Chain A
Amino acid sequence: MVELDHQFTTGKDTAYNWEAIRDLDRLIPCVQGGKVIERTSPTEAKAEIKVKMGAMSMTFAGTVEVAEQDEAAHTALLKIKSREVGGQGHANADVTFGLSDGGGSVHTAAKITGKAASMGEGVVASVLDGLIKDFTQRLGSI
């Protein structure tokens, strides 16, 4: 299990941020290589992410669900469950957002198995850190 914490700024007010992070159609494309395949409910989507590893790439497909949301506290838990397309790996994560005026925080607890995990936990943490930083930088423009 890899756990990471990040802070981010959007320059938008709390109400805007709260709507944005629960709108999976807007949120998922903020992840580099991520796209919505199908909206299955207001709080759930089928999605996939393609991660380029130099010349090679891996695609993970699965579900993203807004599993818990506390509007008073402006916190939400997103659960991501996916498996590697054409491979044996999995990438699952619990992502907790805490929003405030102008930005917020995101706590990520991820479990990666398979070929990607064979690079070692330190490498997985570095790549996830890069992915989440890139993701949070895009949140300001959604």
Chain B
Amino acid sequence: MAIAPGTYTLGPADGTLTVRTGKGGAAAKAGHNLVIEVTAWQATLDLADPASAAVALTADARSLRVRSGSGGISPLGDEEKASIAQSIDEDVLKGGAIAFRSRAVDVAPDGTLRVTGDLDLLGRTRPVTFDLAAGDDGRLTGSTRFKQTDWGIKPYSALFGTLKVADEVEVGIDARLPPG
């Protein structure tokens, strides 16, 4: 479904922005695949004029919260989830800036937006491309994968380097378009 022309502002009240991580290393069995929610973010879709459509997003690096973990030796409890959030704050993102700004937005006949732009992560800017699909019910979904090392981030590791967060992470949005 094509999104009606207009300017839309979305945030946590309209949907979820999640980061999914995998695991690797010799002791990968001990780790969990994580679903982490970004709880403070704001996105704008400027679709007033299809010729100059733009998408932008900012996120608070200290707002990541672990929602679930699968595949470990034992289930993730609240204490472990809080410990991971602390590690993200202190060792990985360190409260750095997260911002995306589109350079081009192409609207496909079915209404899907092909967004190409720059992701600024902790001071390093790299291009990313993703699709945003709009459903008949106003649901907006999209995801992209990228490698942490492309932004100079060293994937978190433990157990003397035998348990690692996989370099590639998936970031996804699942939201409902507010009135434009």
A53-B163, A54-B159 given; A119·B27 CB < 8 A: yes
Q: Which of A32, A115, A131 contacts B73 (CB 8 A)?
A: A115
Query: What would 15 more interface pairs be, CB under 8 Å, given A52-B158, A127-B160?
Result: A51-B159, A54-B163, A55-B32, A56-B30, A115-B73, A119-B27, A119-B29, A119-B73, A120-B29, A122-B26, A123-B162, A129-B160, A130-B159, A130-B161, A131-B160
User: How many CB-defined contacts (below 8 Å) exist between A and B?
Assistant: 61
Please give the number of chain B residues whose Cβ is less than 8 angstroms from any Cβ of chain A in the complex: 22
Can you list 6 residue pairs at the A/B interface with Cβ under 8 Å?
A53-B159, A55-B32, A55-B81, A56-B80, A126-B26, A126-B27
How close is B73's CB to chain A, nearest CB, in angstroms?
6
A133 on the B face (CB < 8 A) = yes
For the complex, what is the distance from the CA of A55 to the CA of B161, rounded to whole Å? 14
How close is A86's CB to chain B, nearest CB, in angstroms?
12
For the complex, what is the distance from the CA of A120 to the CA of B30, rounded to whole Å? 11
Please give the number of chain A residues whose Cβ is less than 8 angstroms from any Cβ of chain B in the complex: 20
How close is B33's CB to chain A, nearest CB, in angstroms?
11
How close is A4's CB to chain B, nearest CB, in angstroms?
13
Contact call A118/B26, Cβ cutoff below 8 A: no
